[in-house]
Amino acid sequence: MTRVALVTGAGQGMGRAVASRLSALGAHVAVNDLNPETAEETAASLALAISVPGDVTDKASVETIVSKARDELGPVDILVNNAGILFPTRVEEISEEEWDRVIAVNLRATFLCSQAVLAGMREGRWGRIVNFSSTAGKSVSTIGGAHYTAAKAGILGFTRHLSHEVAADGITVNAVCPGLIDTEMVQSTIPPETVQAYAEGFPIPRLGQPTEVADLVAFLTSDEASYITGASLDINGGDLTI
């Protein structure tokens, strides 16, 4: 059975890698990004995909995104809440506007997108929701500020709670917690020499690759992961060990 996947923040980085991996596995993919150009670039590179750009922090925009995906591809079976932003601002320098924006893109968007697809998943008695948290959600952000750490911790709490609400409907809800991954966001936030210094300090002394994260997400969205829900899976090269 062909599945329909909606991936947010898929214009670059881990989101684009996830969209590509799910497409390669046969899913029809709705590619979301705030930037219409990058969303279209990702969609154009996939076998069967559409671009659904829009602001996932806005409820009306999210409803439009999900409606377009449903109308053109079918009901959304797989939701990957990947959209995120970070700033390395220290607490005493964070403005209210910056705090609200980071919480909105990382946490509120995860809630809004999940809420928007649940009715269709319940009707189909099958669904996979994968939320992007971070090692920051379990510890402290390597390069982001307190607002990023707070948002990613909130995603873990939301994941646990939602998984309990929808498990009986055939829907699993899990979180992935990447460490420092070689993405445009990381490279644009800290200097190359700092990136290298962090990488050399990890037990596996390198940055993770977006494709490695995409493989983990692909597993969580598969039938083989049907007994995994409410979980958070680390992928960080041993930076955070338990």
Cβ neighbour number for residue 227 with a 10 Å cutoff? 6
Sorted by sequence, the CB contacts under 8 Å of residue 96 that are 6+ apart come out as none
Q: Residues 32, 83: contact at Cβ < 8 Å? A: yes
Q: Is 227 a catalytic residue?
A: no
Q: Residues 56, 31: contact at Cβ < 8 Å? A: no
Sorted by sequence, the CB contacts under 8 Å of residue 2 that are 6+ apart come out as 26, 27, 28
Q: Which of 111, 132, 148, 198 is catalytic?
A: 148
In terms of Cβ atoms closer than 10 Å to its own Cβ (0-12, 13-18, 19+), residue 129 is buried
Residues assigned a catalytic role: 148
